[in-house]
């Protein structure tokens, strides 16, 4: 299993990754192609909330990518 230490990442990216709710997905995109997907484990002591209906997954993926890109650009 691969491991990423959040202390080695820019603070905004680490906050984004550690703030994923249980079952919430984060797409990793490079040059417009999805290269990975992370799913939040959340707090095991809290019951999982019902997932919200996402009318347009492509729009949501673009929002996540833009947030990730801007976070990385802010740090460098």
Phi, psi of 17 (to 5 degrees): -70, -45
Q: Could you tell me how many residues make up the chain?
A: 76
The residues, any chain, with a CB within 8 Å of residue 72's CB and separated by 6 or more, are 10, 13
Instruction: Going residue by residue through the chain, which has 76 residues, state the pLDDT in tens, using 9 for 90 and above.
Output: 778 888 888 989 888 888 888 888 888 888 888 888 888 876 555 555 655 665 677 888 888 888 888 888 877 6
């Amino acid at each position: 299993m691969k491991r990423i230490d959040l202390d080695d990442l820019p603070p905004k990216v680490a906050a984004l990754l550690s703030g994923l709710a249980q079952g919430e997905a984060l797409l990793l995109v490079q040059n417009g192609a999805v290269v990975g997907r992370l799913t939040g484990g959340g707090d095991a002591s809290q019951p999982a909330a019902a997932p919200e209906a996402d009318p347009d997954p492509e729009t949501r993926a673009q929002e996540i990518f833009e947030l990730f890109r801007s976070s990385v650009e802010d740090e460098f």
